[in-house]
Amino acid sequence: MNAQPSSSRQIVWPTVITVISAAILIGAEVFGAAFAGGWALAILLGLDQTGTHILQAVLFVLGVMVMAAFIRGAQRVEPFTRRV
């Protein structure tokens, strides 16, 4: 048997909505920069269309990593749940 009392967790919706809203805004900027930057770098490097798409995909993956780091950091600062 569990001797410790069970603790219930409650979602803090204002925090979750704020972090998701910020992630949408920052994500639009990060992914837009990834595609535009990939296009610009491909022209600068003289890559063909396939090379451009590969470079954009690499920058997109880096953008996903940035967004994941942002969400983890935001969750540390503003926890999504609290004990009741």
**Contact call for residues 66 and 30 (beta carbons, < 8 A):** yes
pTM (2 d.p.): 0.76
pLDDT in tens, 6-48: 678 899 999 999 999 999 999 999 999 999 999 999 999 999 9
For residue 60, tell me if it sits in a domain.
Answer: yes
For residue 5, tell me if it sits in a domain.
Answer: no
For residue 73, tell me if it sits in a domain.
Answer: yes
For residue 3, tell me if it sits in a domain.
Answer: no
Task: Compute and round to an integer the Cα radius of gyration of the chain.
Answer: 20
- The two tokens of residue 5 are 């009392």
pLDDT in tens, 40-72: 999 999 999 999 999 999 999 999 999 999 999
For residue 61, tell me if it sits in a domain.
Answer: yes
- What's the domain count of the chain? 1
The range of the structural domain enclosing residue 74 comes to 10-83
For residue 62, tell me if it sits in a domain.
Answer: yes
